[in-house]
Structure 1
């Protein structure tokens, strides 16, 4: 077993430069963990500490139960795929794949066997005699992955390997990576700021912000049960509606409409309501639970319209609610629209801490 474990990992470069703060997580055999977050959140620093390229200021790193915190990078039996491909331009694909094994003094027979296996797996057989300059971006990325796979490492580390590819090619190579690493039984740690990559590739996502681990969970739970306001706003496209609303009695006030609150020990003066645009619907005849507003902006996304609706009140600031609606009809600016906010899709967050407020959703009527 090659279980990877980080315990209270911290990295400090200067008194006020602390990119990683007390990060603890575990990656089991066969798990694909993505470190996700905005630029500067600490995800690449965590990866570099796992690889041994940076030493943690505090905390320990374990692999298969062994403390490897002080081990040199070359002694950790980890393979890394870089954003820049890092291929030798003067070598052929075959020579690039074999280069790391030759440095480790692996026998020629073993090198030929491993290179042949990886070449078949990645579909590189027809490219083996070409040099990197003769390859497309996707082909070079596959060679870079292949050079890691021939190592037969205990852990695979990937640092934004798709960021240099165009959107169409990124989608194709992403599918290749999912297939390739599903066949591997080693832990995979993948760094990206792209939420689509994180959600499609991972069995587990670690979402970081400002050096802190915000949530460690499956992609499904990250999306449907965000731990706090940051997670809710970072994951999802279009972004979740996050509305700071005043509370009145046991309801939150969206304009002049009352939205029942979940069960809470005490009702705060304000609360943050979250709902994803795809969960906002159009009220149908006979519906009694809806919010009225006026169309503010309509964005054509091809398969859907992203409709921003202005909900106004004489006693509260104007709120904008975005809804992802089908294209079976057109919406005009200033047109009145009635939106439903299904209680089962509502998220509630504390205004001060941003943490999710857990409670039973209460069905009710917006009046």
Structure 2
């Protein structure tokens, strides 16, 4: 077993087209790393660099002590699962799963044994004689996973493998994926723009923007302690409230209300305050840091409502998750902003201040 190591990777297609700028990561055996970010952030290009489908402009890809930069994709012993399944339509499920082993000239008896073993793990045992057109989307995705597993690779690479599935099936296959890879002691690199997949599957998440890693941490840390304003706004649903406030001394001003600032080393004239809607609550009489406003929009989410409030004395809006057992729209509410739930970011750099 050996870890996957990326060192100062860069990929430049043209002077102004640099999807991967300078990325260094280490993925240990048994670690599930998700590359998370919006379209165009460089995550798929980074995966293709690892697989050998693209050649880096600079930097190295290595497994253990073996530098793979000049190694052809087929010789890297990596298994890749694609978004589109990429199954051979004229082959049976068994033949699709065993393709890589056949190319390696593995003995037929061993191919049959390994295909049967992997198919049993993924619930495909009764489907081995079917063609892809006879399968559902979830079954096709399992065949693509089985094809990767049967190779016993050094590294697993998955490129948005659930994006073609409907919401219910995606949830089911996601749970199966987690169980499956928890039992594999190999590095896994998973690409997605879906934060739910990233938060539920990963042991670590690398949030990417403009070809650079913005934060590399366990999912819970990404959510509770975002490194900068971009990560704070990208991770979490509903999206975090991010408000630019004027500062004076140890206070920030939100409409008619004052918010106490932490003891920053340098005085600030303005700051970005972040607070998640699920951390905004109705104030009790004991609360000392509150704001008031009028509810102008209610979005029903089942058990809770996502409500939008215009803060008194300003044109600033804040959103909160509140119980769905009453009518909110048009009413005045008093909200508590607990200091321990507030995130502070620098206005210019976007970096976290607290």
User: Structure 2: any 5+ residue segments left out of the alignment?
Assistant: none
Q: Does 1:54 align with 2:54?
A: yes
Name the residue aligned to 1:241. Answer: 241
Deviation at 1:331, TM superposition (A): 0.7
Q: Which of residues 323, 328, 332 in structure 2 aligns to 1:326? A: 323
Deviation at 1:288, TM superposition (A): 3.3
SS in 2 for 1:140: helix
Deviation at 1:289, TM superposition (A): 2.6
Q: Does 1:340 align with 2:336?
A: yes
> For 2:79 and 2:9, how far apart are their aligned partners in 1?
21
Name the residue aligned to 1:87. Answer: 87
SS in 2 for 1:348: strand
Q: Does 1:351 align with 2:347?
A: yes
> For 1:309 and 1:50, how far apart are their aligned partners in 2?
46
Name the residue aligned to 1:122. Answer: 122
> For 1:228 and 1:289, how far apart are their aligned partners in 2?
24
Deviation at 1:62, TM superposition (A): 1.2
Deviation at 1:296, TM superposition (A): 1.6
> For 1:284 and 1:265, how far apart are their aligned partners in 2?
32
Name the residue aligned to 1:157. Answer: 157
Report if aligned partners of 2:259, 2:289 keep a CA contact under 8 Å in 1.
no
Q: In the TM superposition, what whole-angstrom CA distance separates every residue of 1:296-343 from its partner, at most 9, and x where no partner exists?
A: 211101121001110132xxx42111001111222122x110000111
Deviation at 1:285, TM superposition (A): 3.3
> For 1:247 and 1:203, how far apart are their aligned partners in 2?
38
> For 1:286 and 1:159, how far apart are their aligned partners in 2?
50
Name the residue aligned to 2:168. Answer: 168
Q: In the TM superposition, what whole-angstrom CA distance separates every residue of 1:117-153 from its partner, at most 9, and x where no partner exists?
A: 1011101011111110000000000000000000000
User: Structure 1: any 5+ residue segments left out of the alignment?
Assistant: 359-367
> For 1:303 and 1:137, how far apart are their aligned partners in 2?
31
Report if aligned partners of 1:3, 1:65 keep a CA contact under 8 Å in 2.
no
Report if aligned partners of 1:2, 1:155 keep a CA contact under 8 Å in 2.
no
- TM-score normalized by the length of structure 1: 0.95
SS in 1 for 2:293: strand
Deviation at 1:240, TM superposition (A): 0.2
C-alpha RMSD of the superposition: 0.9
- TM-score normalized by the length of structure 2: 0.98
Report if aligned partners of 2:208, 2:215 keep a CA contact under 8 Å in 1.
yes
SS in 2 for 1:237: coil
SS in 1 for 2:147: helix
SS in 2 for 1:174: helix
1:131-210, aligned counterparts within 5 Å? 131-210=131-210
